[in-house]
């Protein structure tokens, strides 16, 4: 079976890419997508751990359960995020983060 380490590397890579995306995308949607990536990476990490490490039998499904809930929550968060993006679009006709700086200093 594939050992644990590669999975950790993949999820770490995905997190890094996700953070990079969040920092550099100019469109709010781009940032949303990057954040989805991060959450997926975390879920992957959880599942990888739940399969590979010894846990007490009461918590054997803890990892997968957490991943499942994380997905549900991510979906809800995405919905909320997108509705906010739509609001912003309606008000200031752009989703470009550079231009949304009505409030500063």
- Of residues 31 through 90, those in contact with other proteins by CB under 8 A are 31-56, 58-90
List CB contacts of 68: < 8 A, sequence separation 6 or more. none
The count of chain residues that interact with other proteins, using the rule CB under 8 A, is 101
In the bound complex, what is the minimum distance in angstroms from residue 90's beta carbon to other proteins?
A: 7
What region does 86 belong to: left with phi over 0, alpha with psi -120 to 50, or beta? alpha
In the bound complex, what is the minimum distance in angstroms from residue 57's beta carbon to other proteins?
A: 9
Contact between 27 and 97 under an 8 Å Cβ cutoff? The reply is yes
In the bound complex, what is the minimum distance in angstroms from residue 18's beta carbon to other proteins?
A: 7
In the bound complex, what is the minimum distance in angstroms from residue 30's beta carbon to other proteins?
A: 7
Distance from C-alpha of 105 to C-alpha of 103, rounded to nearest angstrom: 7
Distance from C-alpha of 7 to C-alpha of 49, rounded to nearest angstrom: 9
């Amino acid at each position: 079976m594939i050992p644990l380490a590669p999975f950790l590397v993949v999820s770490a890579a995905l997190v890094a890419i996700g953070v990079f995306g969040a920092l550099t995308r100019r469109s709010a949607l781009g940032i949303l997508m990057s954040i989805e990536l991060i959450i997926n990476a975390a879920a992957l990490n959880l599942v990888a751990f739940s399969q590979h490490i010894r846990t007490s039998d009461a918590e054997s499904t803890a990892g997968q359960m957490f991943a499942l809930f994380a997905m549900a929550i991510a979906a809800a968060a995405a919905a909320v995020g997108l509705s906010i993006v739509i609001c912003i679009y309606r008000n200031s006709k752009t989703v470009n983060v550079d231009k949304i700086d009505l409030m500063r200093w």
